[in-house]
């Protein structure tokens, strides 16, 4: 199944970027000289962390053949089929505090997590 067909079917998997998170991703893409029409943000889940899984975010120049591909707030988002099952319905924000700044995840699929906020259990 090609990325276009997946895009029509999945309608973004319910994944949402806040306005600020999308702005930060666009800023990072611009710093890398990345073209927004083909490149985008890869969201994935990888085994690890203190709770079992970790979120991963990378900028990539193009989607892979089996990716779910959708646009949210002007950002192309790529999600592989394995990660999709764990990321459905996730909200991503960007927060800045005195202690640091970074992306945060609100995952309705998570049954637990840890203090770092980047590791979760299902």
Give the per-residue pLDDT at 5.
44
Question: Averaged in consecutive runs of 10 residues, what is the pLDDT profile of the chain (122 residues)?
Answer: 48 89 96 90 86 88 94 95 93 90 88 57 52
Domains of the chain (ranges; CATH) run 3-121 (2.60.300.12)
For residue 12, which phi and psi values (nearest 5 degrees)? 90, 0
Q: Can you give the pLDDT at residue 100?
A: 84
**With contact defined as beta carbons under 8 Å apart, do 87 and 77 qualify?**
no
pTM: 0.81
CB-count exposure of residue 2 (10 Å: 0-12, 13-18, 19+): exposed
Q: What is the pLDDT of residue 9?
A: 45
* CA distances from residue 20 to 36, 79, 93 in whole angstroms, order as listed: 17, 20, 7
pLDDT of residue 57: 95
Distances (CA, A) of 94 to 18, 52, 90, 101, 103: 8, 23, 13, 7, 4
Neighbours of 18 (CB within 10 A): 18
């Amino acid at each position: 199944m090609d990325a276009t067909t997946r895009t029509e079917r999945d309608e973004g998997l319910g994944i949402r970027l806040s306005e600020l998170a999308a702005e930060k991703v666009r800023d990072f893409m611009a710093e890398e000289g990345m073209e927004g029409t083909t490149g985008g943000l890869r969201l994935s889940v990888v085994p690890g962390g203190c709770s079992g899984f970790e979120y991963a975010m990378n900028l990539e120049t193009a989607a892979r053949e089996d990716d779910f591909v959708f646009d949210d707030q002007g950002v192309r988002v790529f999600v592989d089929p394995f990660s999709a099952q764990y990321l459905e319905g996730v909200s991503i924000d960007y927060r800045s505090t005195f202690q640091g700044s970074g992306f945060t995840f609100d995952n309705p699929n998570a049954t637990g997590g840890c203090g770092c906020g980047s590791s979760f259990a299902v």
